[in-house]
A and B are shown apart, each in its own frame.
Chain A
Amino acid sequence: MSTHTQEVPQSRAADLLNALGRALLAFDVKVVLYPIMGLVAFCIVWSITANRIDTSLGKFPGPAQVYEQATVLVDEHRETKQKAAAFYERQEKRNAAKLAKDPNAKVKIRKYTGKETFFDQIFTSLKTVMFGFVIASLIAVPAGIVCGLSDGIYKAVNPLIQIFKPVSPLAWLPLITMVVSAVYVSDDPFFEKSFLNSAFTVALCCLWPTLINTAVGVANVDKDLLNVSRVIKLPALTHVRKIILPASIPMIFTGLRLSLATGWMVLIAAEMLSQNPGLGKFVWDEFQNGSSNSLSRIMVAVVVIGVIGFALDRLILMIQRWVSWDKLAVLR
């Protein structure tokens, strides 16, 4: 008995060591080295080229200036947060003093109204794109399934899809703005109007890739699997849930990834044009500001937009891996 209990931790430790050894052996230098080499080469070319471009706001920023401005943006964010914290502290103290004097006194709690920092703008943009994307997906996936199942409905809807798909989001923007301000009337709005404008613009452009890919995926489910379902006489909803959905998961996710990528691009443009808060507004404000640091700060935003776009794509890929039955599929 005692020997047995001793053996277990030993073998576990050995397993761990083995696993570690295997991981080290399997670790391919190229996986890390090559991307880093690519990045370094890009930075070199960038800084050389940037040095030769003169603009009215000074030289085009190279990697060093951009990095410097990135740290400045971080510092600014910290400062603003500290100011806000201090503001709330003062307000609390003032109110507490007021209440101590006269328990019936009216206490006002105001929000801190400082300038939004770069990170606030990132957060706003992320919130907006996710909201728009979720709305679009909730519409596009079921609609795509219906279109894929019924040839008649697909033929009826297809011209509309083809016409609206290529429309630039910026053409929709004025219409959406007017409709939102006319329809969404509330004394205590839960959402800001600008938030809804951006989100709906994103949603309108996110619809199409998901809709089309879902419809194609559903229409191309293996005929034999459909026949099995017909022989078993699965009811329509069970048929969709147990056969159609799992079979078209890969295509649905391809659509979702395309949609989110489109949505993210659209959002930045919409924010720039409509001055809705977000990364797009940050870029536009910096451009209008026209200080010697503006270009560097815009470049920081460009890099951040790219990194976030990449991260969003990976996020959907992770969800796909989690949802998909086919764990062996190579997803890229």
Chain B
Amino acid sequence: MANKFLEISQVGIEFPTPNGPFCALRGVDFTIDKGEFVSIIGHSGCGKSTVLNIVAGLYQATEGGVILDGREVDEPGPDRAVVFQSHALMPWLNVYENVALGVEQVFKGQKNKAEMKSWIEHNLKLVKMDHAMHKMPHEISGGMKQRVGIARCLAMQPKVMLMDEPFGALDALTRANLQDSVMEIQKELDTTVILITHDVDEAVLMSDKIVMMSNGPAAKVGEILDIELARPRERLALSKSDQFNFYRQQVLSFLYEKKGVVDFDEAKKQREVSDHAPETAEKIS
């Protein structure tokens, strides 16, 4: 356990509301190795994005904390760059300038102008967007915008790349394309990735480890599932693989059977009661 690359230990957060503090997370605890691809999955509103925002430093945990590479996270920074669901590209900057915004700040004094330029172009090439470098965000499609968002993130050379439902707003085909691209890039660069998702297939396909979260309030980690599928992963081949379907089944059963409830004994009892209910009904009749 000691000296893991990224430790999220006993993280809890409360938000003040007019009706007193609302506890969104309590005791969220897991670790991530260097180069690992971890997905966090859960029902919407369970606080998965909150976990990501705490790791990013955009929110401050009220309990516990996050340690990245031996240092506690207490503010946002480019070593934990975020890919936002809404791509969050500056509409007044073109594709190149959007990536440059981060690069110029992060590599100030380390790279000269020419080096920065080739670094930006390299990253755009990585996400296959070098052909549209001088286009404005409104001139490119949603999938392309998200590619640029990923390039902006990668170009900051983050220790861990945080992806907040990056494919959520895309159509299925674009999403599949982008998933493959991200997997390729992750393999090439050996980036550590945390991916927030509510798509079971996406989580199983892409991850080394799936962190399944219980429903809020006071959400916590329900189960952690290691995905031991060989890489590179082919989505077509995998869809026929028993192992893939087994993992898929596992996640689905957590999400829908256990309804993300952490107290599994309680859940079991509830299920038993509902199983018996028809019998009793029959007896009475």
Contacts and interface: CB of A to CB of B under 8 A. Distances in A.
Interface of A: 222, 224-225, 227-228, 230-234, 238, 242-243, 246-247, 325-326, 328
B90 A246 contact: yes
Given A242-B101, A328-B138, A231 B77 contact: yes
A226 to B, nearest CB: 9
Interface in B82-111: 82, 84, 86, 88, 90-92, 101-102, 105-106
Nearest to B88: A224
B81 interface: yes
Contacts of B140: none
Contacts of B58: 227, 230-231
A233 B77 contact: yes
Counting contact residues on chain B (CB < 8 A from A), the size range is 20 to 34
Q: Is the interface of B mostly helix, strand, loop or mixed?
A: loop
A233 B105 contact: yes
B88 A228 contact: yes
A271 B84 CA distance: 55
Nearest to B106: A232
Given A228-B101, A231-B81, A232-B105, 11 more contacts: A225-B88, A227-B56, A227-B88, A231-B80, A232-B78, A232-B102, A232-B106, A233-B105, A242-B101, A246-B92, A325-B91
Interface of B: 56, 58, 76-78, 80-82, 84, 86, 88, 90-92, 101-102, 105-106, 138, 156
A233 B78 CA distance: 7
A299 to B, nearest CB: 46
B90 A234 contact: no
Contact of B92 (A222, A224, A233, A326): A326
Given A224-B86, A227-B76, A328-B138, A232 B91 contact: no
A228 B156 CA distance: 12
A232 B86 contact: no
The 4 A-B residue pairs with the shortest CB-CB distance in the complex, in nearest-first order: A325-B92, A224-B88, A246-B92, A230-B76
Nearest to B158: A231
Contacts of B105: 232-234, 238
Contacts of A225: 88, 90
B248 to A, nearest CB: 31
A224 B84 CA distance: 7
Contacts of B76: 227, 230-231, 233
B156 A232 contact: yes
Nearest to A230: B76
Contacts of B88: 222, 224-225, 227-228
A242 B102 CA distance: 12
A326 B92 CA distance: 7
Contacts of A325: 91-92
Contacts of B91: 325-326
Nearest to B138: A328
Contacts of A224: 84, 86, 88
A222 B77 CA distance: 19
Contacts of A232: 78, 101-102, 105-106, 156
Nearest to B105: A232
Nearest to B153: A231
6 contacts: A230-B76, A238-B105, A243-B90, A247-B90, A325-B91, A326-B92
A97 B84 CA distance: 82
A227 B82 contact: yes
Nearest to B97: A242
A242 B105 CA distance: 12
B154 to A, nearest CB: 13
B56 A231 contact: yes
A231 B82 contact: yes
Contacts of A238: 105
A243 B98 CA distance: 11
B148 to A, nearest CB: 12
A242 B81 CA distance: 19
A326 B156 CA distance: 27
Contacts of A328: 138
